[in-house]
Each structure stands twice: as structure tokens, then as C-alpha cells.
Amino acid sequence: MKLKTLTLATLLFQGTLTWAQTDTTTDLLGLLGDEEPVIYSTATFKSTRVINGQSIENVAGGVMDFRISHRFGTLNSGVHKMFGLDMASMRLGLEYGITDNWMVGIGRSNVNEEVDGFTKIKLLKQVESGPKKMPISVSYFGSIVMRGTEWANPERTNYFTSRLYYCNQLLIAKKVDDKLSLQLSPTHVHRNIVATADIPHDVFAVGLGGRYKVSRRLAINAEYFKLMQNNIPGATNSLSLGVDLETGGHVFQLHLTNGSSMNEKGFITETTGSWNKGDIQFGFNISRVFTVKKPKGYQE
């Protein structure tokens, strides 16, 4: 009895084996052996900004991004100021991808008449699947801001370098799944000039950002920058909540934030508004991309 079962099993096994063999001969692609490609995570965030701060995304090589950003006045400014809509801080930016991994940008803000220039470089790219393994993406962001306002003390000797502010930032991001992405952004800001001797020139902060994709076109974003020191008079941590709306070539980012500046040294070190007191500003970023240089490999 036992022997019979065994024979039957062997027969069945042989049967499947031969069948499998005939099957594989028609699997021509299988004959070639599969070359497993490295697939990197893409679209960790919809835009190059989470809200105020930089996201891990770059504009693609050869693409120009024209950005218009507005922050209205605070909601608690009341009906006389139309809850903030009467006032606006704004930044206009032109940002360009030199390669897929390296972008540069310039921007002009009416807050303190500032001009900013920055660069963002991809250092590590998260791998979605393939023979290589990389759980996170890492980028470096660096910027210089020039403050354009009249000197506070014109009677003394003022140096051009006193107008400058620097920011170094590491962006560490993880696309957890199709919907959820998270980012950690350790930040260092250096101010060449500060109001008094006991105010630090160097400021350290840590940013936390996240997005949750609700649909193909809509995502919810949140961003928080925590100052790692409390010796900056009046400064509060910047907190922003928003949505990203995407159409074909535009991304609209609508949000509420307590920071009115749109460059790093501004919203990280100079935010004074408090969510508790209602110093909340409505704002938006509009991004419109133009292809300046056609991608390599594309055929007309």
C-alpha cells in the first residue's frame, strides 16, 4: 500500500516535471534570464517644496520651474484687514535642473527685499526594487540670502557681507508606500550680522515633513521646523499644514502657516507667529514647469 502511494507520487512528480519542461521551452524570455533592473523611488513628494521647506524632489534635468509663492496676512488681523487677505508677502522664483540630480534656483522676496540663490544635490536615491538596496533618499541643500533693505545704522561703516545669510540643510526622505512619505531635515543657518552680541550667529533646527496622498491629484502635507536652541528672542517654531493639488503642468500648494517668509533663513529663524494666538497665514505656492531641454533618449 505504502509502496503504491510512493509510486503514484513519483509518477505525479515526473508528470509535472515533464510538463514544466515543455512549458519553459515556450517561455522565450525566461531563456534569456531576467535582468533585474534597479528601480528608484519617484515622486516622494509632488513638488520641490513640502510647504515652506525643501522636499527631496528636484526638478528634472532640462526643466525650468517658475514658482509664485504668496503668504497673506494673519487670520487674526480681523475684518479690517479682510482676515489677512489685504496683505501679502511673496516670492518669485526661477529654478532649473542642470541634471536630474542637480538643480539651482534664484528667488526674490518682498520680505526684507531679499534675493536668494540655492543649489540642491541628490546624494542617495531610495531604491524601490532591484539588486541594489537603499532604504532612504538623501539630498544636500545650500542657499545664500541677500537682504536688500536700507542699513539699520547708516552712519557707521557697513559691509556688504553683513547683508548675507547662509543655510545648509540635509534632506533625508523615505517614501514609505505609495501614499505616505516622510522627511527629516537637519538645518544650520548662519547670519553674518545679528542685532545684539548675545544673539547667536548660528542657528540649528530640525525639520519634519510628511505627505499623504489622498488621490492621484491631491495630497495632504504637514511640516514642522523645531529650533534646537531657545536664545533667539521672539522666535517660534514654524508649523504648516497644506494640500497639494496637481493638474497637468501645474502644482498648486495651498496651506496655513505661521511663517511669513519663503526662504529657509526666514521661516526657520525669523518666524514669530503663534498658532495658539491665531497668527496663522493663508498662503499658496504655484509651480509651473517648462521643458527647456528635451530629455536624453527621447525621439521626436
The residue ranges that bind another protein (CB under 8 A) are 26-29, 31-32, 35, 37, 39, 41-43, 59-63, 97, 128-129, 178, 216, 248-249, 289, 291, 294-299
Minimal distance, residue 143 CB to another protein, in Å: 23
Minimal distance, residue 42 CB to another protein, in Å: 6
Nearer to another protein, 194 or 292 (CB): 292
User: How crowded is residue 105: how many other Cβ atoms within 10 Å of its Cβ?
Assistant: 21
Nearer to another protein, 17 or 29 (CB): 29
Cβ partners under 8 Å of residue 150, min gap 6: none
- Could you tell me which of 39, 41, 71, 72 has the C-alpha nearest to residue 55? 41
SS3 160: helix
Nearer to another protein, 3 or 29 (CB): 29
Nearer to another protein, 11 or 68 (CB): 68
Minimal distance, residue 116 CB to another protein, in Å: 24
Cβ partners under 8 Å of residue 78, min gap 6: none
Minimal distance, residue 27 CB to another protein, in Å: 8
Minimal distance, residue 35 CB to another protein, in Å: 8
Minimal distance, residue 31 CB to another protein, in Å: 7
Interatomic CA distance for residues 153 and 157, integer angstroms: 9
Interatomic CA distance for residues 88 and 80, integer angstroms: 15
Interatomic CA distance for residues 174 and 251, integer angstroms: 21
Nearer to another protein, 277 or 293 (CB): 293
Say if strands 39-40 and 250-257 run parallel, antiparallel, or are unpaired: unpaired
Residues 49-86 as b or e (16 or more Cβ within 10 Å = b)? bbbbbbbbbbbbbbbbbebebebbbbbebeeeeebbee
Minimal distance, residue 297 CB to another protein, in Å: 4
DSSP 264: H
User: How crowded is residue 268: how many other Cβ atoms within 10 Å of its Cβ?
Assistant: 29
Nearer to another protein, 43 or 180 (CB): 43
- Could you tell me which of 75, 89, 96 has the C-alpha nearest to residue 273? 75
Nearer to another protein, 83 or 96 (CB): 96
